[in-house]
Structure formats: structure tokens, C-alpha cells
Chains A and B, each alone.
Chain A
Amino acid sequence: MFKKILVANRSEIACRIIRACKEMDIKTVAVYSEADSSALHVQLADEAVYIGPPPALQSYLNMDAIIKAAKTTKSEAIHPGYGFLAENHEFNQKVKDAGLIFIGPNPVPMKLLGSKVASRVAMIKAGVPVIPGMKSSSKDFAEFEKTANEMGYPVLIKASAGGGGKGMRVVHKKEELKSAVEAAMRESLSAFGSDEVYLEKYIESPRHVEFQVAADNFGNVVYLFERECSIQRRHQKIIEETPSPVMTPELQKKMGETAIKVIKTANYNNIGTVEFLVDKNRNFYFLEVNARIQVEHPVTEMTTGVDLAKLQIHIASGEKLPFRQEDLRQNGHAIECRIYAEDAYSNFMPSSGKILYLKVPLGSGVRYDSGIYQGAEVPVFYDPVLAKLIVWGADREEARKKMLLALKENVILGVKTSIGFMLKCLEHPEFIRGNTFTNFIEKNIKIEKDAEGKLLNYAFLGSAMHHNDNKKNSKTFTAASGEMPTPWQTIGSWEICTGRQIGKGN
């Protein structure tokens, strides 16, 4: 087993991995940008190395700085987390060339799966069902127009290197196509360093169902069941759960075996996620493989009892899978809510600032994977995820109830958060019925804030009382720190007494 691992990431996932390493008695090295010098992951790790200025391109995407940090700290392996360099096959190869181990798949399957287009072609060949669309990315707008016209609108523009909804655009009308392709290219370039985008048929009201897989370096592959991640805004998942409300034992077996086929076709190793769209008739289409640990991995951990972060490290160190398919079971139901610093009432615009107050939810079956603490700054440079709230219940309804409570108990002041918005989603009758489709939010959730007369007055009262108390306290504070009064000023009236005068009783 490794003695020391460098974690090439930040925020909650860096903390998650550092904790897994600590449990395994592995020393940890954090890397950080100028904006993160007092971030939680830096505090948790045994060592921390500065890798550059705040913009990700100069720090968390700076391959040479990260590999150098691993070499100087004598780390044996690099864990990339998710996002940043996690699915960058060049980085993967560079790590290998530097004599280090990349905790993830080999560069070759990563390269294949990293290109949505190349992986589509490979999967079509292997007989895996896919969504119709362009065969490759293109810079030629005419090709986008031609394919869109042939298939009919709506269509979906996707970044070839993409993930997390970045560089993704739905286009309903011919007139919108050009600006959407341009915007997707720009976003993709800024987020992934590549402006390769392509187009496919947009399937309306599907579910997003993905399978967690694990493959060791000896050809053993298992699936750890599904996660349903249909609740999305801006094409980015915000609520995930397992099992999927739509799942049946037959469908699960069929999709799980298809996921294994995908993994074997790509000759993939380590843990990964095979994403599918499921339409109204329970047909499923392969979307892509996420060659990394997923944001939503905790729901799988909560229901299977498998620690995926540790499993990644075990596999990377050359161990065999510790279980076979028939050993794996799903137990109960888990839901995850991603707590973002964003304003749901202003087009989910990210919000940055200082965490002035934090109350973490507690209770049985509640897990909080977070990258923040009270007093921490939320910088503007990175993805605005603050924390992930995960709950486990014996069944879906118990998990949902626990999540409602935990969300209400999670107080984060100083930045806007998505908590109130997620409560609305979880309380919606369609969510309760399990009618979770990728258009759930646009279809069901009114983005307008309700008329909130009583609550607004409560909020005013709380603010005013708090402000008055603060003013009082700050006055005392100024007096104490600014013009420190001498004891003579504070004891009231006094006079100099001599020993003789004391007995006099004046």
C-alpha cells in the first residue's frame, strides 16, 4: 500500500479523499492556490503545497506544478478527485511518466471514454444502445445545421470533453443554433481547455440513471447498482438518490450488465460510472462513462456499505476486488443534496463571500461531506459547491423526511445557498411520487419566491434585533479596546485615605 498520496483537488472531495487516506494510515499532501491558503483541505492534510494563483488554469489545472509537488513531497500516487484534471488523459500519462501512480483508470481507456464521440463509436460497435446524433465533433457550423435538420429539433449541443452541464445547450429552434454552438464552444474552452462540441437528438423528459462500476487490474468487473440523478438545473445534478424510483430487478440486471459490457469494451480499470438516459418506456441509452469518482458517490456508499474512495486506492495499489457481483446488495434508500453557493431566484447565479455562520445538520443516518467552515471564504474562481448532504433511510419516504429535516437544520449564512430551493423540490408531490425526470425543475418548480408575509416579518425582526445587539456589543468593545479606562475611572468616586483616617468612619 502507498505511504503517501497527493490529492490534486480542493473543497469537499479533497477532504473526503484525505479522510479515506487517514483511515488507511496513508500520509496526505494537499495542493492549494492563493485563494485557498486557509481552505479546509489544506487544514486537514499532513502537508500542503502552494501551486499557483487563484485561476484554476494556473493552479489546480497546472499539471507540472502538481507533479512537481508530488515529487518534492515524495508522494507515490496522485488522487485527482473529480473535475479539474480528473479526466485529463494527458495528465494521467504525465503522472505515469513521472514514475507516479494515478489513482484512476489507465490513460488509454480514459482517452477513449474522455471523448464522448470516440466512446459513442466504440459502444455502437459493441452493440450498446446510444442516442442518435453527430458521429464526431466539428468546427463546421453547416454540419451542425445539417444534422439538426435531419433529426428535427430539439437538439442538444454537448462539449466533447464535457461534464457537469458545462458547454451544454438545448436548442429548440433553428435560429438559436448558431449562438448556442458558439456559447457551448466558449464554455467548453474555458472549463476544459477544448472547444470541441457536437450535437445529438434531445430526448424529452428522460431520467438520468447511472451505474457505479468497479474494475480491478485483473479483469474483474462488478456494478454497485444505480443512482438516479434526474433532478438537475443548468444540466447539472443537484439531487441524487438510489435506488431509482423507476428500477425493477430485471431492468437493473439488464442495465448493470450493459454497464459491465461498456467497461470491458473500453478495457477500463478502477472505479467509474456508466451514465444512461432512460425514456418513458424504460428504454435506456448509453451516454458516457465518468472516469473518476462522482460527486454523488456517497449515496452508493450508504446503501452498499462499500467505501468507494478507499476502493479506488486499493485498486490503484494493485489489489484485487474484495467482492464478486453476487456479494453485493442494496440496503435501504439514500438521497444526496448538493449545497451550492448560488441564488436560485436569480437564474442560479453563483454566490461568493464569507461563511459568517454555519450549523451542520446532525442525526441518525445523516452525513455531511463539506469543504467549508465558519469563517471560510467561498472564492469566485471555482465551482460553487459548499457541501453535500446525504441521508440514509430504510425506504425512500423515510430518507426524504430525514433530508427535509436535515436541510432545514443546515444553516449557512453569508452566501446565498440552494437549500430553500431543494426543500421545494423534495416537498413537491411529483417528487414524492417518484416522477423525477430531467425537466423536473422547469416543469414543476416555480422559481418565483412565494409571497412570504409572515416569514419576511420574522426575518426583519430577527435582523433588527441582531443588529441592535451587535451595536450594543460593539460599543462596549470599542470602549474596552480603544480607550482602555483605568481602574480609577471605573471604581466610581474615591479619595486617598491614610491609615489614620480609616478608623474614623467618615
Chain B
Amino acid sequence: MQLKYRNTHYDVRVEPDGEDYILTVNGEKQKFTAKRNGTNLISISNDNVKTNVYVAEDDSRFYVNIDGDGFTFEKSREEETSYGEEAKMSSDKDIIKPPMPGSIVKVLVKKGQKVEEGEGLIIIEAMKMETTLYSSIPGIVTEVNVSAGEQVDSDKVLLIVEKEK
């Protein structure tokens, strides 16, 4: 399956090998001793150290907890799989989406405006907290799809910044 974690894509496969499991991540194989220990618990043993991995999934994500460390993996769709292209996309183009549903407080930039890396683009409010979303690249604002006061869902593209060609 294809997973996305912190803006990186991973191709993850697992197959049983007797009592053990072979994990393949982006083509690299590793062998683990693992066992299901409950509805949401997989225990992995390595050098006599047992680690409890708690997992749950919904339609779009995996949620994992290992001794208090949380991991959320996005299940990526097949069309997004070309790694090279994704890497290029992310450095040339910054697609700003809200991290969660909320309302737009203020749009700080206009279409066609030049922005620096780290410049504030939009202020969004969710759960009574204002958060500013920043540009991760220097470039030009090529799309502004929202205005102040608007309610937005987390998959809405608010704004796009593109590097100058």
C-alpha cells in the first residue's frame, strides 16, 4: 500500500514468513518477529525487547501509537504515486490547505503578489484558536480561492504559491 508521512511517500508491503514477517518499505526488506495481541495491538519483538504498537485505521488514515509516540499515515491515492513528480511539485508549488476545518479570519496576500519563504498567507480559526499559514517557498501567489469569513473543510485548496519560472 501507499502511505504518506510528513510529505514523503512510502510504498509499504508486509508478508508472512513462517512465524515472522517481512516488511518491505520502498523496496527495502527487513524481517521482524511480530504477533497480534489484541484488537488494535501488534507486539513486535526485536533482540528480546518487546514493543507494543497500537493501530487503528479509517478510510483515509492509519493512526499508530508506540509508547506515547504518535504516527499518522495518510493513505495516498494511486494517482499520486510518482515520487519524482511529487518531489518536484512540492519544491516548485506550495498548495495551501487548512490543517483542519475552520473559518478564514483574514487573507494576507493577493493573487499575483510576490511572497517570501515563511511569509504569512492566510489566518484561519479553528477551535477558537487563530493560526497563520505560511508559504514554504518563495514565489508568486497564483490562486486565492477564499475570502475572510468563509467556512472551509480540510481538503479545500485555499491558495497556491508557485516559484517564478
Contacts and interface: CB of A to CB of B under 8 A. Distances in A.
Interface string A359-391: 100000000000000000000111110000000
A306 B6 CA distance: 46
Contact residues on A (Cβ < 8 Å of other chain), bracket:
35 or more
B65 to A, nearest CB: 5
A95 interface: no
A462 B55 contact: yes
B68 A407 contact: yes
Contact of B58 (A346, A356, A359, A382): A356
A350 B105 CA distance: 16
A171 to B, nearest CB: 15
A344 B137 CA distance: 22
A151 B102 CA distance: 37
A301 interface: no
Nearest to A379: B127
A357 B40 contact: yes
Given A380-B100, A457-B25, A460-B3, A419 B68 contact: yes
A129 interface: no
A169 to B, nearest CB: 10
Contact of B21 (A357, A410, A465): A465
Interface stretch (B9-17, B82-90, B111-119, B139-147): B9-17
Interface stretch (A40-48, A71-79, A184-192): A184-192
Contacts, number: 157
A469 B38 CA distance: 12
A138 interface: no
Interface of A: 166, 183, 186-187, 190-191, 234, 343, 346-347, 349-354, 356-357, 359, 380-384, 407-408, 410-417, 419-420, 423, 449, 452, 455-470
Interface string B63-101: 111111111110000000000000000000000000111
Nearest to B103: A190
A413 B63 contact: yes
A17 B50 CA distance: 40
B71 A469 contact: no
Given A420-B70, A465-B21, A380 B127 contact: yes
Contacts of B66: 455, 458-459, 462
A354 B6 CA distance: 21
